[in-house]
Amino acid sequence: MSQIMPMQAFGPERIPVSRMALGCMGLAGNWNPAEVGAEHPRKAIASFEAALEAGITFFDHADIYGGTACESIFKDCLAAVPNSREKIFIATKVGIRKGYYDHSPDYIKESLQGSLDRMGIDYVDMYQLHRPDPLTHPGETAAALDEMVESGQVRMIGVSNYYPQQTLALKRYLQAPIVSNQIAISLLRLDPIYEGAAGGNGDGVLDQCLELGITPLAYSPVGGGWLSGKRSIPSDHPHREKIERILAIFAELAPVYNDATPTQLALAWLLSHPANIIPLVGSNNPEHIREAAEAGSISLSRIDWYKIWVASRGNAVP
């Protein structure tokens, strides 16, 4: 398979970004900044370099990742690869505090400055609301976000874990466009792909993304690692049968796609969707990053895409 990572246009300015992103939640290798040692930056830099070599240009953070350590270590990554900042797309998130959510204007402004300072950068390419905050009026949050865009500290606005009506509520007050919605989607969580208001168990997120020109970012795209084929499935796992069905169809299809691994087929399935889903590869292991990146060269046939979907559903399409 080719090592060349395909690109796609992102946001209203159609900025080219890689079809896959590196999810930086585990970059620090620790959730306690006080326990981050000298070996953690070295591992993070190796992962960053592997991602760049694989053609990944999109890096997704959050202020809470690693208890802020992931953003701090990313400063070391940028310093280790001179001139890398202007060649990549950096996104981060705000809004989760210890035990509650907070989208109040003062807090998100303070948090943005903290993220910029930790990463040693002047702006982020995209700032995302991590989870909806029921106690902050979307108009107040929107005003603060628009101010950030106008100041140049933020180039684009995204949301995360938003259902369609929550996205519309924010959109009603926001001058800047909402360019992405980061959601959990994989063959183990199909809710965003189902019919939404038309029935079934869906939430309609992907339909809204297509309608409004929003790019879906998929976290846990390999089902928390269960679809990688590298983990032993406990007998009492609630999705054991589904995982086994999916891995069986992956084994059947692997020879058709140059012996693609389960991870690569799980990612290729998401990449085939017309909403231009960008899977977030959540790994700080260079080998796993390189393996995942090769999924960008797999083009599933329509028939095989449906075979995989049917395996996940557990029944044939109507």
For 93-103, the pLDDT digits (tens) are 999 999 999 99
CB 154 within 8 A of CB 127: yes
Q: Is the pLDDT of residue 48 over 80?
A: yes
User: For the chain, what are the domain ranges?
Assistant: 7-226+275-299
**Which DSSP category does 30 fall into?**
-
Other beta carbons less than 10 A from residue 173's beta carbon: 15
| CA distance readout (Å), 102 to 115, 200, 215, 278 | 16, 32, 24, 26
Q: Is CATH 1.10.3720.10 what the domain over 7-226+275-299 is classified as, yes or no?
A: no
Under DSSP, the state recorded for 189 is B
pLDDT for residue 4: 78
Q: Are 107 and 72 in contact (CB under 8 A)?
A: no
Rounded to whole angstroms, the Cα distance separating 155 from 90 reads 10
| pLDDT at residue 197, as a whole number | 44
Residues 264-275 as b or e (16 or more Cβ within 10 Å = b)? bbbbbbbbbbeb
In tens, the pLDDT along 186-222 reads 999 999 987 544 445 689 999 999 999 999 999 999 9
**Token pair belonging to 212:** 């409004």
Weakest-pLDDT range from 35-39, 65-69, 236-240: 35-39
Closest CA to 189 of 218, 168, 213, 165: 218
Average pLDDT over residues 72-86: 97
Token digits of residue 252: 């059947």
Reference 151, options 168, 172, 171, 176; nearest CA is 176
Beta-carbon-side half-sphere exposure of residue 152 (alpha carbons within 13 Å): 2
Determine what percent of the chain is predicted with pLDDT higher than 90: 92
Residue-wise pLDDT for 102-149, tens only, equals 999 999 999 999 999 999 999 999 999 999 999 999 999 999 999 999
Name the nearest CA neighbour of 151 among 180, 207, 109.
Answer: 109
CB atoms within 10 A of CB 251: 12
Decide if 65 is catalytic. yes
pLDDT at 30: 86
Q: Which residues of 28-44 are buried (b: 16+ CB within 10 A; e: fewer)?
A: bbbbeeeebeeebbebb
Q: Per residue in 163-189, pLDDT tens? A: 999 999 999 999 999 999 999 999 999
Contact 116, 78 (CB under 8 A): no
Q: Which of 68-77, 174-183, 188-197, 275-284 is the least confident region?
A: 188-197
- Give the Cα separation of 222 and 206 in Å (integer): 18
pLDDT at 215: 98
Closest CA to 270 of 298, 242, 291: 298
